[in-house]
Amino acid sequence: MEIVEWSDAYSVGNVLMDAHHRVFFQMVKEFSEAPDQDMRATMQQQIAFLAEYVIMHLAAEESLMREAGYPDIDKHKALHDAFAHKVHAARDAFPTDQGSVSAEVILQTMQDWFLNHIRDEDRKYAPYLRHRP
Ligand SMILES: [Fe+2]
């Protein structure tokens, strides 16, 4: 799959959010390169872990936006909620048997969503959160 490495070009001007985003891409990379990718049970655990991480991150981002008085938080949260729903559905649909949707497809889909979301949406809150811890 095509791996995205976080770079300064994706910075949203907030140290914590940048760190979350960086770790997310790093985990996708590690999971997609895992030598035991054919072990469905392992991949299932990794996808479940990533799903938890994503939900934690989206909630943290929403509280920061709220504290910063970001005016478009409702619209932004709606995008998060739709993604969270998809992530949970993918996690629940990923079975331990062979032949169904591959872990790679799920990882790629999550990675692509994140990249587009950071570039198109997260960037909009940057001026409100800049220089906050
Ligand atoms: Fe976001």
Q: How far is the CA of 35 from the centre of ligand 1 (A)?
A: 31
Give the other-Cβ count within 10 Å of 122's Cβ: 23
pLDDT 10s digits, 36-57: 656 778 888 899 999 999 999 9
Compute the distance between CA of residue 127 and CA of residue 26 in angstroms, rounded to an integer: 26
As for how many domains the chain has, the answer is 1
Q: How far is the CA of 120 from the centre of ligand 1 (A)?
A: 9
Residue 4 lies in a domain: no
Residue 26 lies in a domain: yes
Here the CATH number for the domain that contains residue 99 is: 1.20.120.50
Residue 92 lies in a domain: yes
Compute the distance between CA of residue 11 and CA of residue 19 in angstroms, rounded to an integer: 9
Q: How far is the CA of 98 from the centre of ligand 1 (A)?
A: 33
Range of the domain at 96: 13-31+59-129
Between 40-67 and 73-93, two packed helices, what is the crossing angle to 10 degrees?
170
pLDDT at 120: 94
Q: How far is the CA of 7 from the centre of ligand 1 (A)?
A: 17
Residue 49 lies in a domain: no
pTM of structure: 0.89
Question: Among residues of the chain, what percentage have pLDDT more than 70?
Answer: 91
Q: How far is the CA of 105 from the centre of ligand 1 (A)?
A: 22
